[in-house]
Amino acid sequence: MNIGYACLTVGVPNTKEKSCMLKNASPEKLLDLISYNLNSLENIIDYNIENDIKLFRISSDIIPFASSPINKLKWWEIFEEKFQIIGWKIKKSGMRVSMHPGQYTVLNSPKEEVVKKAVEDLNYHTQVLDSLGVGEDHKIVLHIGGIYGDKNQAIERFIENYKKLDDKVKKRIVIENDDKSYNINDVLEIGHILNIPVIFDNLHNEINPPDEEKDEYCWIDECRKTWRKKDGCQKIHYSQQDPLKKPGSHSKTIGIRQFMNFYEGLDIKDIDIMLEVKDKNISAIKCINCTSHDKSIKALEIEWSRYKYKILESAPSNYVEIRKLLKDKDNYPVIDFYDLIEDSMEKKSTLGNSINTALHLWGYFKEMATDREKNYFFNSIEKYKKGQTSIATIKNSLWKMAVKYNESYLLNSYYFIEE
């Protein structure tokens, strides 16, 4: 089993993407943006390798305006060497990557221009994966589209337009149930007609279930039958509902108890699980650690190094409890560990806790900081006490010093993640 996340990272330096407005998309600007984004992608792949994350969805925005007439660059040739380097790392590590075109890539639209753009966009996504040199088990995930007043006709249009796609595109396409129009039974019927692998999305299924009364494990088993050996092992999407937002909104983090209940219910563990969640890689590592066969306390100690100052800031009592948990080097209290983490992340920090944690971090720099840095930091602390500045200002000054003095322990800390 591989567990992964989609598109972007949280709390990982040098992994952001850049874009620009259409009116500013000159060839020179696009070259700069593509170069920057490919460097970011390579950094993400390096991070995934370092953290044993073997499933990742590449952002569709990696090449800005790639399927638009405005971008006339032969980017796959210009950046061929870079693609080869990234692809080599992906293949060597055994990572599986995918892509997922957005809501405007609609293959079953009644409008020819919309379909034409959808085909161009699918060609672009295929070009990215082909440029990386990865096999056809690295997929492009596609929704069926809209209903347009007649679901049967919309399905027929999807089938006919799919048949017209280039073979190199078709071998990468997998289809997924959505939360409005096409439930998992609809998508399975289309998948069987076209011999396309089907992805089961659990949250979409909760919101838009079929009439048939089957549990999610039955649907997962049905979808498994659509995956052939050349497609790689079956892949599903897993997410949890944000209780404070509209149905279908992904949660901030994966609640580990709920995830483990789902995981334990799977009859077959030979399955790839793509998490769709706001905190991305953070939840991926959490779920990997909870399902790992290598139950080493070292994994939790590495996690603690990332979380500890965030927990000290929000929940000092939990900070103490977690330290106690980790003292037993022969145990692997992974669920209890993440229970305390999740509880802490829900708490609001007090002024006193925020200042105490900032002073802890200042300890890394007190012997090397310049007088100017020292004065700025302590002046900011005093202003914060009086309500004249925010904790974000203090964190920003600490972050700048962490970068300047290359304090890698702090650079990897979740303390600096913006709320």
pLDDT at 172: 97
The whole-chain average pLDDT of the chain stands at 94
Same domain, 249 and 378: no
Going by C-alpha positions, the residue among 34, 58, 32 that lies closest to residue 44 is 58
Region of poorest pLDDT, from 15-19, 37-41, 69-73, 156-160: 69-73
pLDDT at 419: 64
Same domain, 18 and 126: yes
Q: How far apart are CA 105 and CA 344, in angstroms?
A: 40
Cβ neighbours of residue 367 closer than 8 Å, sequence gap 6 or more: none
Tokens 């399902």 correspond to: 291
* N-terminal to C-terminal alpha carbon distance within the chain: 31
Q: How far apart are CA 126 and CA 171, in angstroms?
A: 10
DSSP, residue by residue, 239-283: --B-TTS-TTPBPSS--HHHHHHHHHT-S----EEEE--TTTHHH
Same domain, 164 and 214: yes
Burial class (CB in 10 A: 0-12, 13-18, 19+), 298: exposed
Same domain, 141 and 164: yes
Same domain, 93 and 184: yes
pLDDT in tens, 395-407: 999 999 999 999 9
Same domain, 341 and 389: no
pLDDT in tens, 94-144: 999 999 998 889 999 999 999 999 999 999 999 999 999 999 999 999 999
Contact indicator for 253, 278 with CB cutoff of 8 Å: yes
pLDDT at 58: 97
The C-alpha torsion from 375 through 381 and 387 to 393, rounded to 10°, is: 80
Q: Does an H or E element contain 80, and which?
A: helix 80-93
pLDDT in tens, 67-87: 888 888 899 999 999 999 999
Domain that holds residue 332: 297-345
Going by C-alpha positions, the residue among 221, 100, 110 that lies closest to residue 156 is 110
How far is residue 412 CA from its own chain's centroid? 17
Alpha-carbon distances, residue 419 vs 70, 96, 248, 314, 345 (angstroms): 36, 30, 21, 12, 10
219, two tokens: 């649907």
pLDDT in tens, 140-185: 999 999 999 999 999 999 999 999 999 999 999 999 999 999 999 9
Rounded mean pLDDT of 345-369? 94
Region of poorest pLDDT, from 19-33, 192-206, 341-355: 19-33
Same domain, 157 and 9: yes
pLDDT at 145: 94
Same domain, 154 and 92: yes
Same domain, 239 and 217: yes
Q: Does an H or E element contain 3, and which?
A: strand 2-6
pLDDT at 68: 82
Same domain, 261 and 337: no
pLDDT at 188: 97
pLDDT at 70: 85
Where does the pLDDT of residue 312 fall: very low under 50, low under 70, confident under 90, or very high at 90 and above? very high
